[in-house]
Amino acid sequence: MPGPEPCDLLVRGDVVLTMTDGLPEIADGAVAVTDGRIVAVGASNDLAARFDPADELVGGIVMPGLVNTHGHAGMTLYRGLGDDMPLERWLHEFVWPAEQRFTTPENVALGTRLAIAEMLASGTTTFTDMYFFQATVGEVAAEAGIRALLGQAVIGFPVPGCPDIETSFRKADELAATYRDHPLIDVSMALHAVYTLSPDQLRAGAEHAARLGVPLQIHVSETTTEVANCRETHGMSPPELLAETGVLRAGTICAHGVHMTESDIALLRETGAGVSLNPESNMKLGSGIPDVAGLLASGIGLGLGTDGAASNNDLDLWDSVRLAALLPKGTGMDPEAVPAAEAVRLATRGGAELLGLGDEIGTLEPGKRADLCVIDTDAAHLTPAYHPTSLLAYAVHGSDVVHTVVDGRPVYRDRRHLTLDLPATRAAVNKLARDIASA
């Protein structure tokens, strides 16, 4: 009789939440992993008898890793630099001046390393980036072992590392060539916004992305000022302008989408574009509250994001999960508006599908890449545990994550980083922060 077959990793939990259709919950379940892929999901006793693992992890809730669909990782350097002001003033008086002076490849690497440490420690296994020096971001992400969708920021005026828009396009070309077949890193074209790019520049960016065969990401209808200025200048809403310039298309990631009309949403649905919801950042900047329930009902693709740490001010995606579930209940006075399970889906499967990665990640099922996290439920605020999705949406914090696995590799284990030196990173960031503060 043949013995157990070898596998690289067996992850066991009190509950395995697969996030597949029907949201099955496997009590006392396990996930077996070999060569970075899930090979089996089922009852813990069955898999323990079937497999001989080289390594093993144990915890409370085993679930797909979180997918952060919008952010600016290097901006952790500016966390708390300018608070309690609207987006336009925040950008012009604090962020852009600081970036012109301090956003260098070395500093972006440092800020990204800190961001990744924060994300891995709270169960995020994939992040989307829109920032400068993306070749550096890719190197740091690959070294840390996290999955990333890079996006060299394209802006219509000189920015760090790119004196003109042609340089931004060239760097996007280089990124696409470098990471074409990388197991963890994908590339997008990150057009900043309708207020930083002309229609001709938007059109050029869309055409460039099409030639490269990469998706687009862009800030869309984040504030009422943005929408009003776009209508005054171009005679149309931001989504209408993006549709006219070819930016709205299947796979386009529209960050925020706070102030969209029914016709705007119809445009997204018709073109196949989706929205990354960032409610915490929107609320902090006073930009408004996204219509989570309405967007869900529209049928367009949705995921959750944190935005950058300079406007959030953390990268714990569980806060976005909670807000995605709670805000529609409060604003619509409807406790059934967005169920807990739906909010959790947005942070996992929904995010993966929004980024075009739904065939590889977002659920725990054989054949998928093994991106997962494990929640330690042995805490007062997680007791008792009647419904796992209820705990995840309303009670779990990033600090409850005990293990994080990306592509079958444990990168955060027993609440300790295995691929990053967090104390050294924090010390370097704090040293740089003194220079930023004095400036």
Whether 33 is covered by a domain: the verdict is yes
Residue 317 lies in a domain: yes
Give the structural domain span for 274. 66-354
pLDDT reported for residue 392: 98
One domain for residues 138 and 237 = yes
Q: Are residues 43 and 93 in the same domain?
A: no
367 Cβ partners below 8 Å, 6+ apart? Answer: 37, 38
**Can you give the length of the chain in residues?**
439
Q: Is 291 exposed, middle or buried (0-12, 13-18, 19+ CB in 10 A)?
A: buried
Asked whether residue 36 falls in the same domain as residue 140, the answer is: no
**pLDDT reported for residue 2:** 74
Q: What is the pLDDT of residue 59?
A: 97
Residue 83 lies inside a defined structural domain of this protein: yes
Q: Return d(Cα 292, Cα 302) in angstroms, integer.
A: 9
In a shared domain, residues 280 and 401: no
Please indicate, yes or no, whether residues 325 and 303 belong to a single structural domain of this protein.
Answer: yes
The answer to whether position 207 is within a domain reads: yes
Domain with residue 97: its CATH number is 3.20.20.140
* pLDDT computed for residue 56 by the predictor: 98
pLDDT value of position 1:
54
Q: What is the pLDDT of residue 3?
A: 78
Instruction: Determine, yes or no, domain membership for 431.
Output: no
pLDDT number for residue 91: 83
Residues 81 and 51 in one domain: no
Query: Can you list the residues of the chain whose pLDDT is less than 70?
Result: 1
Is 181 in the same domain as 207? yes
Cα angle: 184, vertex 189, 193; to 5 degrees = 130
At a CB cut-off of 8 Å and minimum separation 6, what does 345 contact? 19, 23
Predicted local distance difference test score (pLDDT) of residue 87: 80
Contact yes or no for 345/389 (Cβ under 8 A)? no
Total number of domains in the chain? 2
CATH number, position 387: 2.30.40.10
Based on the domain organization, do 325 and 300 belong to the same domain? yes
- Contacts of residue 288, defined as CB under 8 A and 6 or more positions apart, other chains included, come to 223, 224, 258, 259, 282
Residue 418 lies in a domain: no
Please indicate, yes or no, whether residues 10 and 91 belong to a single structural domain of this protein. Answer: no
| Pair (86, 22) in one structural domain | no
194 and 324 assigned to the same domain: yes
Instruction: For residue 428, tell me if it sits in a domain.
Output: no
Buried b (16+ CB within 10 A) or exposed e, 272-288: ebbbbbbbbbbbbbebb
**DSSP tag of 336:** T
- 378-389 tens-digit pLDDT: 999 999 999 999
**124 and 155 housed in the same domain:** yes
User: In sequence order, what are the residues at sequence separation of 6 or more whose Cβ sits closer than 8 angstroms to the Cβ of residue 130?
Assistant: 70, 71, 72, 151, 153, 190, 192, 217, 255
The answer to the question of residue 90 being in a domain is yes
Helix (H) / strand (E) containing 116: helix 105-121
